[in-house]
C-alpha cells in the first residue's frame, strides 16, 4: 500500500496529504537542527545515568514509608546532574505540574513575603494557588502578597516596571517559560538568564523559580544553567518521555529543595519518606527517552505552524521563529474552528479516537476548555494533544506527540476536519 493510501485509510484526503508533503519538503534543515539538539541532550542524560551507576537494583518497588529507597534517591541525583543543580526532588507524590509549582512556592514563601511575576499573568491554574482568584489555602490566605510586571506589547520584558516592583518584601520571583494560554512568545533560556541576572543585581538574595513545563530538552541549556534557584516541572510532560504515569520534579539549590521536601511530606521527614510504588522503571526510562520524544513533538509544532500560517492563520511561534517549548498556538478565530481542530486531533489518537471532544468547565480554569487528548496517560501533554479556553482570540494550543509521525498525522487530520467543516481551504499543490 502506498503512503497516500495509508493516510487516506486514516481519514486524510490526498489533497491534504500532498499539501503536507509540500510543506514538509522545506523543513528538512529545521528538522536536522532539532535532531542535533536531541543528540546533545541524549548524551547529557546518558552521562548523568552512567555517572550515578544506574542498575537493575534501582528499579525495585518500595511501599509504605519508603525508607532507604535507593532507586528513588539515585533518580534524584540523576535529575540534579541533568539540570546541573545541587539537589532534586522527583516524586510520584507530586501529582502534576501545578502541584509541583505549589509545593515550590509554599515551601519558599512565608507570611509577609511577596511573590513577583515579571512576565505578566501566570498560567490559569496558578491564579487560585496565588490568590488572584479567591480560593481556600491560597498563598494570599496565608499572608503572601503578589505583584506583577506585565510584558511590553511586543512580548519583551518591561525592565523599568520590574525594577519598580522589586521591594524589600520580594522574596521569590516566578518566571513562566512557556506561554500557557496566552499568545505571547515563550522565552528562550538566554532570555530567562538575562532576566534572572537583572533581578539578582537589584536584590541579590531574591530566589528565582522557573516554571519549566513544556520546555525541558528543547534547547541544550536549561534555566538552572542560567542562575535559577529552582526549575519545576511535570513528569507527564517532557521529562517523563510519555512513560511516567504521574509525578513532578523540583531541581535547585540544596536549601530550596530541602524546604520543598519538608512541604511535600512533613517537617523533619523531608526526602526520607515517599515510596516509589514500583514506578522507577518508567521514571528512569522515560527520562532516557525524553530528548528523542521532545524532538518529535518539536517537529510537530514546527510542521503545524508552517501548515496553518500558509493558510492565513496566525501562529505563535510563527513558521520561522526559533523554538523554546513544544507548544504551538494557532489562532483560529471562532469557537467552531477550535472544536473542528480538536476533533481532528482526537480522531488521530491511538486511545479514544472515536470520542468527540466538547468544551467543559475544567477545574482551575475560569472559561470552558476544550481538550483533545487520546493519551495512554490521562492528561499527558507530551502525548499528542490540543486544547484551549473557549474565549477570544479563540486560540488552540497544540503540543506533544510521542513520535513525529503521530504528530504529523494529527496535524493533517486537524486540517482535514477544518476543511470538511468549510473553515479552511486546502490549496492546490503545484
- In the chain, where are the structural domains located? 3-41+288-420, 61-277
**What are the angstrom distances between the C-alpha of 17 and each of 44, 236, 356, 386?**
37, 31, 23, 20
The mean pLDDT of the chain is 96
Count of CB atoms situated within 10 Å of the CB of 198: 15
Residues 372 and 346: beta-carbon distance below 8 Å: yes
Strand partners, 45: none
Q: State the architecture of 61-277 in CATH terms.
A: 3-Layer(aba) Sandwich (3.40)
Nearest C-alpha neighbor of 181 from the set 50, 29, 426, 370:
370
Q: From the CA atom positions of the chain, what is the Rg in Å?
A: 21
Helices 254-264, 97-108: inter-axial angle, 10-degree rounding: 110
pLDDT digits (tens, 9 = 90+) for 289-338: 999 999 999 999 999 999 999 999 999 999 999 999 999 999 999 999 99
Half-sphere exposure of 330 (CA within 13 A, CB side): 32
pLDDT at 399 over 90: yes
pLDDT digits (tens, 9 = 90+) for 60-91: 999 999 999 999 999 999 999 999 999 999 99
Residues 124 and 364: beta-carbon distance below 8 Å: yes
Residues 83 and 251: beta-carbon distance below 8 Å: yes
**Proportion of the chain above pLDDT 70, given as a percent:** 100
User: DSSP string spanning 326-364?
Assistant: S-EEEE--SHHHHHHHHHHHHHT-SSSTT-----B--TT
- How is the beta sheet containing 314-316 ordered, strand by strand? 314-316, 328-331, 395-399, 385-389, 369-372
pLDDT at 153 over 70: yes
Residues 41 and 325: beta-carbon distance below 8 Å: no
Question: What's residue 366's pLDDT?
Answer: 76
Question: What's residue 262's pLDDT?
Answer: 98
Strand, helix or coil for residue 76: helix
Q: Alpha-carbon distance 49 to 104, whole Å?
A: 25
Q: Is the pTM of this model over 0.85?
A: yes
Q: Which residue intervals of 113-253 are DSSP H helices?
A: 126-130, 159-165, 189-202
Residue 24 is placed in which grid cell?
514538509
Question: What's residue 430's pLDDT?
Answer: 64
Q: State the architecture of 3-41+288-420 in CATH terms.
A: Alpha-Beta Complex (3.90)
The average pLDDT across 261-266 equals: 98
Amino acid at each position: 500500500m502506498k503512503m497516500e493510501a495509508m493516510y487516506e485509510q486514516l481519514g486524510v484526503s490526498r489533497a491534504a496529504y500532498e499539501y503536507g508533503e509540500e510543506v514538509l519538503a522545506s523543513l528538512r534543515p529545521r528538522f536536522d537542527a532539532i535532531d542535533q539538539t536531541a543528540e546533545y541532550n541524549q548524551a547529557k542524560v546518558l552521562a548523568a545515568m552512567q555517572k550515578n551507576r544506574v542498575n537493575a537494583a534501582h528499579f525495585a518497588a518500595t511501599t509504605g514509608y519508603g525508607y532507604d529507597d535507593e532507586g528513588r534517591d539515585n533518580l534524584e541525583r540523576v535529575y540534579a546532574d541533568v539540570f546541573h543543580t545541587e539537589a532534586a526532588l522527583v516524586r510520584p507524590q507530586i501529582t502534576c505540574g501545578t502541584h509541583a509549582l505549589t509545593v515550590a512556592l509554599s515551601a519558599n514563601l512565608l507570611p509577609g513575603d511577596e511573590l513577583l511575576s515579571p512576565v505578566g499573568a501566570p498560567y490559569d491554574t496558578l491564579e487560585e494557588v496565588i490568590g488572584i482568584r479567591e480560593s481556600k489555602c491560597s498563598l494570599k490566605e496565608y499572608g503572601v502578597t503578589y505583584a506583577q510586571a506585565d510584558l511590553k506589547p511586543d512580548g519583551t520584558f518591561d525592565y523599568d516596571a520590574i525594577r519598580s516592583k522589586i521591594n524589600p518584601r520580594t522574596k521569590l520571583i516566578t518566571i513562566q517559560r512557556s506561554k500557557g494560554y496566552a499568545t505571547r512568545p515563550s522565552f528562550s533560556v538566554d532570555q530567562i538568564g538575562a532576566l534572572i541576572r537583572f533581578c539578582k543585581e537589584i536584590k541579590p538574595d531574591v530566589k528565582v523559580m522557573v516554571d519549566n513545563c513544556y520546555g525541558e530538552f528543547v534547547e541544550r541549556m536549561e534555566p538552572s544553567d542560567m542562575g535559577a534557584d529552582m526549575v519545576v516541572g511535570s513528569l507527564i510532560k517532557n521529562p517523563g518521555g510519555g512513560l511516567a504515569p504521574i509525578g513532578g520534579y523540583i531541581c535547585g539549590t540544596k536549601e530550596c529543595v530541602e524546604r520543598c521536601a519538608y512541604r511535600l511530606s512533613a517537617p523533619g521527614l523531608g526526602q526520607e519518606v515517599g515510596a516509589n510504588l514500583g514506578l522507577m522503571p518508567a521514571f528512569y526510562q522515560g527520562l532516557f527517552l525524553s530528548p528523542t520524544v521532545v524532538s518529535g513533538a518539536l517537529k510537530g509544532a514546527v510542521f503545524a505552524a508552517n501548515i496553518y500560517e500558509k493558510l492565513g492563520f496566525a501562529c505563535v511561534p510563527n513558521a520561522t521563529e526559533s523554538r523554546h517549548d513544544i507548544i504551538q498556538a494557532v489562532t483560529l478565530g471562532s469557537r467552531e474552528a477550535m472544536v473542528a481542530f480538536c476533533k481532528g486531533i482526537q480522531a488521530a489518537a491511538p486511545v479514544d479516537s472515536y470520542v468527540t471532544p466538547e468544551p467543559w468547565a475544567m477545574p482551575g480554569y475560569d472559561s470552558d476548555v476544550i481538550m483533545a487528548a487520546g493519551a495512554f496517560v490521562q492528561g499527558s501533554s507530551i502525548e499528542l494533544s490540543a486544547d484551549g479556553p473557549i474565549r477570544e482570540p479563540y486560540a488552540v494550543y497544540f503540543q506533544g506527540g510521542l513520535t513525529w509521525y503521530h504528530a504529523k498525522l494529527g496535524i493533517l487530520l486537524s486540517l482535514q476536519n477544518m476543511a470538511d467543516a468549510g473553515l479552511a481551504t486546502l490549496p492546490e499543490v503545484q
